[in-house]
């Protein structure tokens, strides 16, 4: 598949068939997604693959009872074939930038970074994983880690890591309720591009 076709086809799917995925293949694609750039080549991004047997535990950690009672998406998401938690180690970045070839940057302390590149790098890996899954014929849903981060840390045994986001991975069933965000009027892609000639 041509890359531009893959890019245009990419969507977020929040309802899956429940068909099993090859978890070895999922892990291979996740590992390949970590080929994404990392600041100072410090390799500070991590990924945790959660198989379908533990998906219920993940959802209990990542949500609350109120959401589970009222969500129109819980049923579809609970049929995913895997979940991938992307996280990063901020101190790995600070330590790398204390090394002699980077020390002049002044970024040897996590608090000194005006843009936390551990999140930037995790975002690149997450997008790479989404595209690799799309190329495999699977769909993904991005799940932000805005709430319940402590419970997710305990669930996944993450120490000294910051969770960036999670991808649900599975075979889309195309029964996802449309997002209300799609009804918003936004500038076109072309309108969001500036040129300085």
Model pLDDT for residues 102-129, shown as the tens digit of each residue: 999 999 999 999 999 999 999 999 999 9
Q: What SS3 state is found at 33?
A: helix
In the chain, where do the E strands start and end?
Answer: 45-50, 82-88, 139-144, 162-170
Strand-pair partners of 86? 47, 165
CATH, domain range 3-192: 3.40.109.10
Query: pLDDT tens, 142-156?
Result: 998 778 999 999 999
Residue-wise pLDDT tens digits, 58-67: 999 999 999 9
Which pLDDT value is given to residue 138? 97
What does the block give as tokens for 50? 């959660």
How many C-beta neighbours within 10 Å does residue 23 have? 16
Tokens of 92: 């790995």
20: number of Cβ within 10 Å: 12
User: Crossing angle, helix 23-33 and helix 117-135, to 10 degrees?
Assistant: 140
pLDDT digit string, tens, across residues 155-173:
999 989 999 999 999 999 9
User: Do 118 and 95 touch, CB atoms closer than 8 A?
Assistant: no
| pLDDT at 32 (0 to 100) | 98
**pLDDT of 17 strictly over 90:** yes
Average pLDDT over residues 42-52: 97
């Amino acid at each position: 598949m041509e890359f531009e076709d893959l890019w245009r086809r990419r969507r977020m799917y929040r309802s899956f068939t429940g068909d099993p995925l090859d978890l070895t293949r999922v892990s291979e694609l996740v590992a390949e997604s970590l080929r994404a750039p990392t600041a100072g080549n410090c390799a500070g991004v991590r990924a945790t693959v959660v198989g379908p047997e533990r998906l219920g535990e993940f959802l209990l950690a990542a949500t609350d009872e109120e959401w589970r009672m009222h969500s129109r998406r819980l049923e579809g998401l609970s049929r995913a074939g895997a979940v991938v938690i992307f996280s990063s180690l901020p101190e790995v970045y600070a330590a790398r930038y204390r090394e002699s070839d980077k020390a002049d940057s002044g970024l040897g302390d996590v608090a000194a970074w005006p843009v936390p590149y551990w999140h930037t790098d995790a975002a690149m890996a997450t997008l790479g994983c989404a595209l690799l899954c799309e190329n495999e014929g699977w769909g993904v849903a991005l799940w932000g880690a805005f709430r319940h981060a402590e419970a997710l840390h305990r669930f996944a045994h993450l120490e000294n890591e910051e969770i960036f986001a999670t991808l649900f991975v599975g075979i889309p069933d195309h029964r996802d309720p449309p997002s209300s965000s799609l009804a918003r009027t936004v500038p076109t892609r072309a309108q969001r591009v500036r040129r300085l000639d």
